Amino acid sequence: MPDSLTSMLSSYYDTVPYDSHPFPQTAPEHLETLAFLFGLDAPAPAKSRVLELGCAAGGNVIPFAARHPDASVLGVDLSSVQVAQGVKAVEQTQLKNIELRAANIADIDASFGKFDYIICHGVYSWVPGPVQDAILRVCSENLAPNGVAYVSYNVYPGWKAREIVRDAMILRGGPRDTPEEKLAYARGMLEFLEESARQDSVLKKTLEESMPIVRGGNSSYLLHEFLEPCNAPCYFKEFVARAEGHGLAYLCEAEPSTMFAQNYGEKVRDPLMRECGDSQVMMEQYLDFLVNRTFRQTLLVKKERASEIRYRLDPARIKELEFAGVFATEDGSELTLDAREQQCKAIRDIKIVLRQPVQKAVAQVLEENYPACLSAEALISAAAKRTGESLEAAEQVTMAMLEELLILGALRIRRTRTDAASKIPAMPQALASVRRTFSPSSQAQVAMNACNQWHESVGLSTLERSLLPRLDGEHSHAALATHLVAEVRAERLQFIKDQKPLSKASKFDEFAKQQVAAALKDLRRKALLLP
C-alpha cells in the first residue's frame, strides 16, 4: 500500500475507531467445530495459536485469551490509537497470553510464525487491492497445515444496490471536514432522496432496503461501511478464485445454514443440484443471486486439504458434537410428550415444528440445560428415558432431528463442551476475567456488557454488575444478598420495586434474596456462570 494511503487509512481508523467487541461467528471454538462438521480435524482452540488481522482494541480476541490461558493470541491493527486502548485493557485483565501490536498487515512475514486460526473480520472489503492480497497471503503463508482462516467481506449482487446509497452519501458527506459532519450531511442526502424518489423507481426500492440499516446503525458502523475511503465488494466466486491463487481452498461459511439449497425449497434445490453438480462454490454463487446477498463470512484452509472436505453431513461426525439450543413454544405452553403437533421458536427465532415424542423430549432437555452443551449420547439417553422408547428408536429420531436442525441453523454446536452452567451452583462462579472487569478497582467497571462463554456480548443490569466481582465460587446466595443490602445502605445501589425505590430498610433482606435469585437465573441463561 502506498505510504500516503496507509497514512490516510491509519488516520481514519484513529479518528473513527471501530467498535471493538466479540463476534461469536469468529470464535476459534466455532471455526474448529465447522471444520469438523465438514470433514476436517482442526487444532484444539484451548492450546492454539491465534492471529487476528485488524484487531482494533482487542475486543474480539481478549475474551478468547481469557477463556483459554494455554492459547497464544496475537492481534495486529493499523491504528496505534486503538492498539494502545487494547493494550490497556489487556493489562487490566492481567492476561499473559495475548499481545496486541500496531502494524501493517502487508509487513507480516514468516518471522511471525504459524497460526492455527487466523481471523480477519471487517477488513478485507475496506482496504485496497494490494492489502487484500496481503491478507490472503498471510492466511496462506502463516496458516498452520491443519489451520483454519476466517475472512469476512461484502459481496455482490446485494452490494450493487447499496453502492448507490454509498455513492449518494459520499457525494454530499465526503467533502465535509469532520466524521460527524460527513455522517450528518450523508444522512441528509438520503432523507432528501427518500422523500423525492419516484415510487416505481429502482432508487426507491434500494432506499427502502437500505434506510433501516442507516437509521439503525451506530455512527462508527455507518462511517466505515458507507463513508470509508475503500469499499470493494466482489462476487463470492471471484473471492474463492483469488484465495485459490494464494494456495487456499474454500471450506464453508461461518453460518452454514446459508450453504444448503434445501433450505430454500424444492423449486430451488432440484434445479441447482442439476445445474451445479458437485460444485459447492457454484451452488452458493447461484444462491447469492437468489437472496441478493450482501455479506459473507468465509472459512479457508490449505489447498492440500481440499480433497478431505465433505459437504454431505456425516452422521458419525454429528454424533461427536456437543449441542445447545432453545425451544420455546409459540403459545407459551409446555411441550407435551405425545404426537400432537407443536410449533417452537429456536435460536435466531427459527420456527420449528415438533411432532414426535422423542423430538419433544430432545427439545425439552436442550431448553432446560441451555446455555450448557449436551452430547448426542446424552440427548438420546434422556429422550429414551422420558418417552419410554428404546435406545435404538430414540437414537434414530434424535440423530435425524439433530441433522435437520443443523442444516436449518437452529442449534449451537461445539466440538468440545462449552463451560456454561446448566444449573445455578450453590457457590456461583463466573470467569475470572469477567469478574475483574467489574471489580471496584477496574477502570472498565462502567461497561454495560460482558463476553459470555459463547463469545457473545451480553447486556448487564446495574445489579448484575454489582454481583459479578463476588461470583468467585466462595460466596453463597445468602452472602451475595448481604452484599447487595450493604451496597444499598451505602447508596451505591438502589432497590427498585414496582418501578419505585424501595425505602423500607426492613424489607431489604428479603428483597435482596429475591434479587439474587433472579439475577443468578439471568446470569446463568446469559452463559456467564461456570459449571
> What does the DSSP assignment read for 186-204?
HHHHHHHHHHHS-TTSHHH
Query: Which residue blocks in 38-128 are alpha helix, DSSP H?
Result: 62-67, 80-93
* The predicted structure's pLDDT at residue 38: 98
Whether the pLDDT of residue 107 is over 60: the answer is yes
* The predicted structure's pLDDT at residue 218: 76
Mean of the pLDDT values across residues 290-312? 97
Backbone angles phi, psi at 4, to 5 degrees: -65, -40
Angle subtended at Cα 198 by Cα 192 and Cα 204, rounded to the nearest 5 degrees = 70
Q: Per this entry, what is the length of the chain? A: 531
Cβ atoms of residues 258 and 287 within 8 Å:
yes
Spans of all domains in the chain: 3-156+233-254+292-305, 173-226, 315-414, 432-525
When pLDDT is cut at 50, 70 and 90, the band that residue 437 belongs to is confident
When pLDDT is cut at 50, 70 and 90, the band that residue 22 belongs to is very high
Percent of the chain with pLDDT over 90: 75
* Cα atoms in the 13 Å half-sphere on the side-chain side of 287: 25
* The predicted structure's pLDDT at residue 8: 54
Instruction: Please report, as a single letter, which amino acid is at residue 527.
Output: A
When pLDDT is cut at 50, 70 and 90, the band that residue 14 belongs to is low
Mean of the pLDDT values across residues 5-23? 66
Question: How far is it, in rounded angstroms, from Cα 337 to Cα 363?
Answer: 10
Whether the pLDDT of residue 86 is over 50: the answer is yes
CA distance between the termini of the chain = 48
Backbone angles phi, psi at 98, to 5 degrees: -140, 140
When pLDDT is cut at 50, 70 and 90, the band that residue 226 belongs to is confident
Percent of the chain with pLDDT over 70: 95
Angle 158-173/179-196 helices, nearest 10 degrees? Answer: 120
CATH no. for 315-414: 3.90.930
Mean of the pLDDT values across residues 68-84? 95
* The predicted structure's pLDDT at residue 192: 87
When mean pLDDT is compared over 215-229, 275-289, 428-442, the highest value belongs to 275-289
When pLDDT is cut at 50, 70 and 90, the band that residue 164 belongs to is confident
Q: Which has the minimum average pLDDT: 11-15, 60-64, 100-104, 375-379?
A: 11-15
Mean of the pLDDT values across residues 374-400? 98
* The predicted structure's pLDDT at residue 442: 64
Q: How far is CA 235 from the centre of its chain?
A: 23
For the stretch 179-220, pLDDT in tens is 788 888 888 888 888 888 888 888 888 888 888 877 877 777
* Cα atoms in the 13 Å half-sphere on the side-chain side of 212: 3
The three cell numbers locating residue 469: 466481582
Mean of the pLDDT values across residues 291-304? 97
Backbone angles phi, psi at 332, to 5 degrees: 80, 5
Whether the pLDDT of residue 175 is over 50: the answer is yes
Mean of the pLDDT values across residues 147-161? 95
Cβ atoms of residues 138 and 109 within 8 Å:
no
The three cell numbers locating residue 498: 414496582
Residue 530 three-state SS:
coil
Question: How far is it, in rounded angstroms, from Cα 174 to Cα 185?
Answer: 9
Question: How far is it, in rounded angstroms, from Cα 121 to Cα 455?
Answer: 15
- CA-closest candidate to residue 71, choices 22, 117, 33: 117
* The predicted structure's pLDDT at residue 422: 96
* The predicted structure's pLDDT at residue 445: 47
* The predicted structure's pLDDT at residue 518: 97
CATH no. for 3-156+233-254+292-305: 3.40.50.150
Mean of the pLDDT values across residues 149-162? 94
Whether the pLDDT of residue 525 is over 90: the answer is yes
Mean of the pLDDT values across residues 131-158? 97
* The predicted structure's pLDDT at residue 13: 58
When pLDDT is cut at 50, 70 and 90, the band that residue 311 belongs to is very high
* Cα atoms in the 13 Å half-sphere on the side-chain side of 107: 10
Sheet holding 374-375, edge to edge: 374-375, 322-324, 412-414
For the stretch 450-484, pLDDT in tens is 999 999 999 999 999 999 999 999 999 999 999 99
Average pLDDT in the chain: 92
Whether the pLDDT of residue 6 is over 70: the answer is no
Question: How far is it, in rounded angstroms, from Cα 372 to Cα 130?
Answer: 43
When pLDDT is cut at 50, 70 and 90, the band that residue 141 belongs to is very high
Mean of the pLDDT values across residues 265-289? 94
Number of C-beta neighbours around residue 43 at 10 A: 22
